[in-house]
C-alpha cells in the first residue's frame, strides 16, 4: 500500500517527523514497496509492508536524528 501524500502516512510517522522527513519516508517506503514485492527479495520472514517501513525509517535516520528534546532534526554535516 504505497502512500500518495503525507496525510496518508501512519500517525506514528506524521506525528513525530517534520514535513521534509515525512517526504523522505514516503518516497523510501514507496520505492521499497516496489523493490521488495517478491518474498525472495526480502530477508527473513518480514512482510512486504514491514520491510518497506524498515527501509523508510533507515532513510529518515540517514538524514535526521532524534534530539534530546525528542524531536527529529536534520543531521549536521
CATH number of the domain to which 39 belongs: 1.10.1740.70
49: domain range?
A: 21-74
> pLDDT-derived band of residue 59, with 50, 70 and 90 as boundaries?
very high
Tell me: the pLDDT tens digits for 22-57? Answer: 999 999 999 999 999 999 998 889 999 999 999 999
Confidence (pTM): 0.92
Cα 53 to its chain centre, rounded Å, is 5
CA atoms within 13 A on the CB side of 28: 21
29 within some domain: yes
Strands 72-74 and 64-66 turn out to be antiparallel
Q: How many domains does the chain have?
A: 1
Share of the chain above pLDDT 70, in %: 100
Amino acid at each position: 500500500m504505497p502512500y500518495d501524500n503525507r496525510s496518508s502516512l501512519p500517525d506514528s510517522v506524521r506525528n513525530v517527523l517534520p514535513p521534509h522527513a515525512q517526504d523522505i519516508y514516503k518516497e523510501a517506503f514507496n520505492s521499497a514497496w516496489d523493490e521488495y514485492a517478491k518474498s525472495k527479495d526480502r530477508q527473513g520472514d518480514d512482510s512486504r509492508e514491514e520491510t518497506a517501513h524498515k527501509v523508510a525509517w533507515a532513510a529518515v535516520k540517514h538524514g535526521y536524528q532524534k534530539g534530546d528534546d525528542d524531536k527529529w532534526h536534520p543531521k549536521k554535516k
